[in-house]
Structure 1
Amino acid sequence: MDPEEEFLITFFSHVSQLNFDKAKERLEQQRVAQPQSGPWHTLVTLLPQLAAAERSYMDLGFFLPRNKGFLRKDNSLRSIYDASCTDYRRLEDVARSTGAGTIATVANQLSQFCMARVELIDFYERMYVTSCGKQLCYQELSTHIEDLAAKHAMSFSHMTLTSVKATFSLECEVLVHLLRAQLETQHWRFLHALMQLHGAHTRVAAWERSLHSKESWTLGFGATFLKTSQLPGLFQWLLKLKAALVAKFSLYFYCTLAMQTVAPEMKALCSRLSCDYYHKMQTFQRRYDASAVMLVFDAHDLDDFPGPGYHLPDRPVERLSNLHAYPIVISCPVKPLNHIPNVAKVLSERAAELAAMDKVIFYFSEKEQSTYALALTDPRMSLVVIFDSKKTEKDSFITNFVSELSQQLRCHKVISSLKLSAK
């Protein structure tokens, strides 16, 4: 390995581990030691801008306001990567014409890396924009990031770029697994969702280990501490999204998980989640004397149904169709099977209103003398609150609870926090 390749390996290792001060120090040493002309000098001159772009990217700098106007240069992060891509392509041409093959190859692959970063910026911006609406199409986002990961699977794979390649791949894989986990949870597929969450967890852990190998600082008596506050905003946001999906998974598959342990342990485990949804449902049901607070799954046209832990009850034949098509996923305090026909009626007759996901639907049954408040948490999952008395939209405590819990379970707020996390 020649000294130039050794330098690049070390430099990009520092960048991928967020050791930007050490990366800068190595660059300064290289400038002093090397000639002030030629392709190598040009490459070393371009690297500080890439390091600065990576620092900003990891802190979600692409969401910061752009400084663009009359006689002002666009200094957005996207424009910096675009400009760097152009610079590396020019360097590649010069290096090839002068016979500097290694530098030409590295320049070519760095231009690929810059373009891949721009595409990821586009992806995050798309996520944020869609999260601002009532509905967020996770299937489209999942397909998008899977295509992006596949497109760059063989890109910038030169040995000098091994560390940044690894970080890029981990980032894409975390996103792929988290979005797949969301889709599998939406469709009430326990094992598939669990496998995707585990996949995300292993990638996050691997990425975190690489970050923890960064420089530490000493505070008296030789005690060493990691600068945990320096964990990048992007990494912290991915942790937040993962935690939100684990909390959602724990509610959608509460009955399945509860069978694996005892009640006190299940309660303790849920209390450590980012949000204990089951406790929220229990608290509301008890405080406002609701007959039931439950999630109901729409299993119409699904070939792989029944779902996890679901068994058809011993009921009259005329009720089996509704019970099978609309199984109760979780209910506090018990499953009110006698209410399923009315719930099924509302879900089918007012499907268009519910699909808009912009309001809570109320229905009062004269026969049962019961009120049903419903909203979709996902395309096939509905939050239903039942009262054994007449209630209306004017009962704000019901409307607010159903609306807020539904929004939380959609994970829109976590995704929209992307922009708020930028610094």
Structure 2
Amino acid sequence: MSLPTTPGSPPGAKESGTLQTYFQALGQFAYDKAKELMDKEKEIHKATFGSSWGLMVHTLSQFATAEKTYNSLGFLEQKWFGRPKDTLRNSYLVLLQELRRMEEAVRQQDSVAMGMPGPGADFEILLSHLCGQLCEYIRARQKTMDFYEQISLMGTNKNMNYQDLVEVIAEIIHVHSRNFHHPILASLKSGFTSECDIVSHLLQAQLLMAEGQFLPSLLQLHQAHSKLTSWGAASQARETVKKGMFGSTTKTLSSLPALYSWLLRYKCLLVAKFSLYFYDVLSKQTTSVDMKGLSAKNCEDYVAKVTAFQKKSDASHVCLVLDTQGLESPYRGPGYTHPDRQGDTPKGLDSYPTIFSFPGEQPVGHWPNVVMLISDRQADTDRVQFVYDKAVQSTYFITSIEPRIYLVVIYETKKSEKDSYVNSFMLELSSLLRCIKHFAGLKPGSRVGGSRK
């Protein structure tokens, strides 16, 4: 399987440069450009299609199409007539077979040559290495496809286990991140690593926020933000990426692949959630007017939602309550606490602090009732619990957002258990804060929510 040569240059030099350009284009989300480059090579080497290079060019043209489909989340399309569309999975399987075949063919050729390598043989060996490592890359892609499928399915279930997802993506990173390391594949590896790291940081931020951990969750968000910015800057659409962490998503998302846009919005949703969970801590660093303005710039202004609901429904208080009992790291209060600072672990009523309360601070007079309701409540995130206390003539609505965080609405009057406005608000806010719609919205055409905007 001989290679075409160019006078005045070593055999394979031009082709190696073409490979560099091709994989750099993939790293910039320029899938059409990469495919066009390989299609031109196919026309040039049509007469030598049976050569290693001719076969490689044909395979890489298909590979660019597969990568474009992957990053557009096309593999998660809805089922039609009860059957899933597995076009991308089949495409990757075909590519895997072709790459294995080429790798084996070159190995056999080398064994025949038996110690008589030359410049052309060196390039054949390079193609063999690339084929082997691209096979590993495709296996990694198959794992991340399964991972996103798992996320989209979990998005339809309100009892999401984010810890399981963190462990799955950590295993993918551990097993696959070192299996395609050739310098020519650097852009491809960088994109894969960025994608997996960003997902991991975001999921860990969500877990840490659910335990009221201010600094650790902030650091995870910052890591995700930095890597999203770096990944976006490497693309041809880098001018669309906003630099501010606490700001809107992008100027235009349409020029970025759907997967990147989904990750970017996920980060923005978590920033908005962080702004609510740690509102009191953040508000101490600025004026109330500036804090309100910063919240309004988030993709979801949860504080405004709570404020509007409280005023319209005339609720006495709307509170987010953290159950600190049994936390692995002792709760030292909201915000940053120096690791060497000693403090007593909260007990009794103090072990259920409010992390957000509107209007005003925690309603102390109602707190024994609130804590009793949380303590007696079973793990059920699918409904809103209602209690009317005749002794204090107050009504309590409660639902869980996270395993340790509860949304409580208090009225100092008797309310109907079936009050649709109250129930709808609480369920909607809980769903938004758990990012359920965003997770389920991975599937194109999903009716759960428009998170793919």
Structure 2 counterpart of 1:266, from 262, 280, 291? 291
Tell me the amino acid that sits aligned with residue 327 of structure 1: P
Matches within 5 A, 1:232-381: 232-302=257-327, 303-309=329-335, 321-334=347-360, 335-350=362-377, 352=378, 355-381=379-405
DSSP 3-state at the match of 2:441:
helix
Deviation larger for 111-120 or 91-100: 91-100
Matches within 5 A, 1:139-158: 139-158=163-182
Determine if contact 1:310/1:327 at 8 Å carries over to the other structure: no
Structure 2 counterpart of 1:210, from 226, 231, 234? 234
Q: 1:414 and 1:346, CA in 2 relative to 1: closer, same or farther beyond 3 A?
A: same
TM-score, structure 2 normalization: 0.83
Tell me the amino acid that sits aligned with residue 255 of structure 1: D
Determine if contact 2:210/2:402 at 8 Å carries over to the other structure: yes
Q: Does 1:193 align with 2:195?
A: no
Determine if contact 2:22/2:34 at 8 Å carries over to the other structure: yes
Partner of 2:421: 397
Q: 1:228 and 1:394, CA in 2 relative to 1: closer, same or farther beyond 3 A?
A: closer
Displacement after TM superposition at 1:199 (Å): 0.3
Gaps of 5+ in 1: 217-225, 312-319
Partner of 1:221: none
Q: 1:196 and 1:214, CA in 2 relative to 1: closer, same or farther beyond 3 A?
A: closer
Partner of 1:387: 411
CA RMSD in angstroms, aligned pairs only: 2.5
Q: 1:310 and 1:42, CA in 2 relative to 1: closer, same or farther beyond 3 A?
A: closer
Determine if contact 1:19/1:215 at 8 Å carries over to the other structure: no
Tell me the amino acid that sits aligned with residue 230 of structure 1: S
Partner of 1:89: 100
Partner of 1:315: none
Partner of 1:223: none
Tell me the amino acid that sits aligned with residue 332 of structure 1: F
- 1: CA distance between counterparts of 2:387 and 2:81? 52
- 1: CA distance between counterparts of 2:56 and 2:386? 65
Determine if contact 1:18/1:214 at 8 Å carries over to the other structure: no
DSSP 3-state at the match of 1:362:
strand
DSSP 3-state at the match of 2:318:
strand
Partner of 2:39: 28
Displacement after TM superposition at 1:321 (Å): 3.5
Q: 1:65 and 1:333, CA in 2 relative to 1: closer, same or farther beyond 3 A?
A: closer
DSSP 3-state at the match of 1:199:
helix
Deviation larger for 325-334 or 26-35: 26-35
DSSP 3-state at the match of 2:395:
strand
Partner of 2:116: none
Displacement after TM superposition at 1:66 (Å): 6.4
DSSP 3-state at the match of 2:397:
strand
- 2: CA distance between counterparts of 1:254 and 1:214? 31
Partner of 1:127: 151
Q: 1:264 and 1:215, CA in 2 relative to 1: closer, same or farther beyond 3 A?
A: closer
- 2: CA distance between counterparts of 1:172 and 1:391? 47
Partner of 2:62: 49
Partner of 2:74: 61
Number of equivalences: 401
- 2: CA distance between counterparts of 1:408 and 1:296? 17
Partner of 1:316: none
TM-score, structure 1 normalization: 0.89
Displacement after TM superposition at 1:322 (Å): 3.1
Q: 1:358 and 1:227, CA in 2 relative to 1: closer, same or farther beyond 3 A?
A: closer
Determine if contact 1:106/1:158 at 8 Å carries over to the other structure: yes
Deviation larger for 294-303 or 373-382: 294-303
Structure 2 counterpart of 1:2, from 4, 10, 13? 13
- 2: CA distance between counterparts of 1:307 and 1:211? 42
Displacement after TM superposition at 1:134 (Å): 2.1
Tell me the amino acid that sits aligned with residue 280 of structure 1: K
Partner of 2:440: 416
Q: 1:38 and 1:310, CA in 2 relative to 1: closer, same or farther beyond 3 A?
A: closer
Q: Does 1:16 align with 2:43?
A: no
Displacement after TM superposition at 1:10 (Å): 0.7
Determine if contact 1:134/1:356 at 8 Å carries over to the other structure: no
DSSP 3-state at the match of 1:230:
coil
- 1: CA distance between counterparts of 2:260 and 2:38? 26
Q: Does 1:98 align with 2:109?
A: yes
- 2: CA distance between counterparts of 1:212 and 1:19? 7
Gaps of 5+ in 2: 1-11, 111-123, 241-250, 338-345, 446-451
- 2: CA distance between counterparts of 1:391 and 1:362? 9
Partner of 2:191: 167
Tell me the amino acid that sits aligned with residue 63 of structure 2: L
Determine if contact 2:214/2:336 at 8 Å carries over to the other structure: no
DSSP 3-state at the match of 2:177:
coil
Aligned residues with identical type, % of pairs: 38
